């Protein structure tokens, strides 16, 4: 299995790219600020990590003997798990949290601590999703199990006519896949594709390290509560499942409306493996912002409602997205380029649901233009 070979037409609209990069760079220089995290980012880190671990410690140290209280604490942990994923480890694994690589690596490994894998996530997200956004067969974020259809280029089955109803249940199962088989399958696949060479480790060693991480996670997050809490084991399992369902649903509800939308496009490479567009323009065509006016919402979701800015400048910490979004939008409009945005999160969810419905009913009819 070979490494993906898809190229973009760098020569197209290169003026837009150079002007945009210059303006964003000038913003940081003129305001004498770093593109990395700062005090508010550090506070958010403490808050999100505490939102996950404080309920857990509270549950164990009391220990909680009332079932509904234990379930509630697991639910809070679900919010914290999503918060860590959206607001901390995401920036760290993009190298955007700090100019110190060690800090980025350690905070990125929070994903391993909450059941995932920073190694496979960085390949799927940083390499494949960010490089080949909405390109069927390349972007694994639009490559769900066959029960779901996220691209008009994918085969449509009769069951898909109902996917706009049942997709939300499967979104909630997303992190269950992480903690069971997905990371192992991806690791083997990415190794075969040559995408793990930077690790300078054998596949056997990487699998063993991944396995140890999963064992540690299950030991402290599931087995330990079963042993310590004076409630039946199946209530602990229920709480554990609720925690993961909440985290999965929140994560999917933030990431999917950014790309699977009626306004976004699904380009395919030509016979030579080339996308007839500049990479930056490709990001504008395949990405949507939402709820730019909601400061609290944006704070909790790690600025990922500014997905356009994140895709264009993934190594800039998300706390700067709101400011640079004005630069990006104005520059895009100046060059006659699209800048897709939904005013509210509810509006984005609604449009995403409409897109799921249409993908379940039609092949190409009614879809955005295919380039």
pLDDT by residue (tens digit) across 48-74?
999 999 999 999 999 899 999 999 999
In a domain, residue 132? The reply is: yes
In a domain, residue 1? The reply is: no
Q: What percent of the chain clears pLDDT 70, i.e. is strictly above it?
A: 97
Q: Among 162-176, 190-204, 333-347, which stretch is predicted with the lowest mean pLDDT?
A: 190-204
260-295: pLDDT as tens digits: 999 999 999 988 889 988 999 999 999 999 999 999
In a domain, residue 369? The reply is: no
H-assigned helices in the chain: 14-30, 39-61, 67-84, 90-93, 101-108, 110-113, 118-121, 130-131, 163-172, 174-177, 183-192, 203-218, 224-228, 233-255, 279-286, 295-300, 307-312, 321-334, 345-361
In a domain, residue 257? The reply is: yes
Cis status, amide bond into 118, omega within 30 of 0: no
Sign of CA dihedral 256, 262, 263, 264: positive
In a domain, residue 173? The reply is: yes
In a domain, residue 211? The reply is: yes
Q: What pLDDT is attached to residue 273?
A: 86
Could you tell me the pLDDT band of residue 370, with boundaries at 50, 70 and 90? very low
In a domain, residue 333? The reply is: yes
Q: What pLDDT is attached to residue 3?
A: 55
The answer on pLDDT for 358 being more than 70 is: yes
Q: How far apart are CA 9 and CA 269, in angstroms?
A: 11
Mean pLDDT over the full length of the chain:
94
Q: How many domains does the chain have?
A: 1
Could you tell me the pLDDT band of residue 371, with boundaries at 50, 70 and 90? very low
Indicate the SS3 state at residue 157: coil
Q: How far apart are CA 175 and CA 21, in angstroms?
A: 35
Tokens (6 digits) for 246: 């909440």
323-356: pLDDT as tens digits: 999 999 999 999 999 999 999 999 999 999 999 9
Could you tell me the pLDDT band of residue 369, with boundaries at 50, 70 and 90? very low
Q: What pLDDT is attached to residue 359?
A: 97
* Residue tagged 């903690």 (tokens): 179
Q: How far apart are CA 191 and CA 233, in angstroms?
A: 38
The answer on pLDDT for 367 being more than 60 is: no
The domain of 321 spans 7-361
228-263: pLDDT as tens digits: 999 999 999 999 999 999 999 999 999 999 999 999
In a domain, residue 366? The reply is: no
Sign of CA dihedral 170, 174, 177, 179: negative
134-143: pLDDT as tens digits: 999 999 999 9
The answer on pLDDT for 366 being more than 90 is: no
């Amino acid at each position: 299995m070979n490494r993906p070979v898809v190229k973009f037409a760098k020569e197209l609209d290169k003026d837009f790219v150079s002007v945009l990069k210059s303006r964003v760079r000038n913003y940081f220089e003129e305001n004498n600020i770093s593109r990395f995290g700062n005090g508010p980012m550090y506070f958010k880190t403490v808050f999100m990590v505490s939102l996950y671990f404080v309920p857990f410690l509270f549950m164990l140290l009391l220990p909680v003997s009332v079932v509904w209280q234990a379930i509630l604490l697991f639910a809070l942990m679900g919010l914290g798990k999503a918060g860590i994923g959206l607001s901390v480890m995401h920036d760290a694994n993009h190298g955007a949290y700090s100019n110190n690589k060690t800090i980025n690596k350690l905070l990125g490994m929070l994903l391993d601590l909450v059941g995932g894998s920073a190694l496979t996530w960085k390949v799927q997200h940083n390499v494949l999703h960010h490089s080949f956004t909405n390109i069927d067969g390349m972007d694994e974020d639009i490559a769900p199990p066959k029960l779901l259809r996220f691209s008009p280029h994918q085969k449509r089955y009769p069951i898909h006519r109902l996917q706009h109803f049942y997709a939300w249940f499967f979104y909630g199962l997303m992190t269950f896949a992480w903690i069971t088989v997905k990371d192992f399958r991806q690791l083997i696949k990415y190794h075969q594709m040559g995408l793990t060479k930077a690790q300078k480790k054998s596949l056997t060693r990487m699998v063993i390290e991944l396995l140890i991480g999963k064992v540690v996670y299950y030991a402290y997050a599931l087995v330990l509560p079963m042993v310590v809490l004076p409630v039946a084991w199946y209530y602990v399992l229920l709480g554990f499942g609720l925690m993961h369902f909440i985290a999965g649903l929140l994560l999917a509800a933030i990431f999917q409306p950014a790309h699977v939308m009626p306004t976004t496009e699904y380009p395919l490479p030509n016979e030579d493996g080339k996308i007839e567009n500049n990479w930056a323009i490709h990001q504008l065509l395949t990405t949507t912002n939402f709820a730019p006016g909601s400061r609290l919402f944006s704070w909790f979701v790690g600025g990922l409602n500014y997905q356009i800015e994140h895709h264009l400048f993934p190594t800039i910490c998300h706390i700067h997205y709101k400011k640079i979004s004005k630069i990006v939008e104005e520059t895009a409009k100046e060059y006659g380029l699209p800048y897709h945005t939904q005013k509210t999160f509810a509006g984005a969810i609604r449009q995403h649901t409409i897109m799921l419905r249409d993908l379940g009913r039609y092949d190409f009819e009614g879809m955005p233009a295919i380039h």
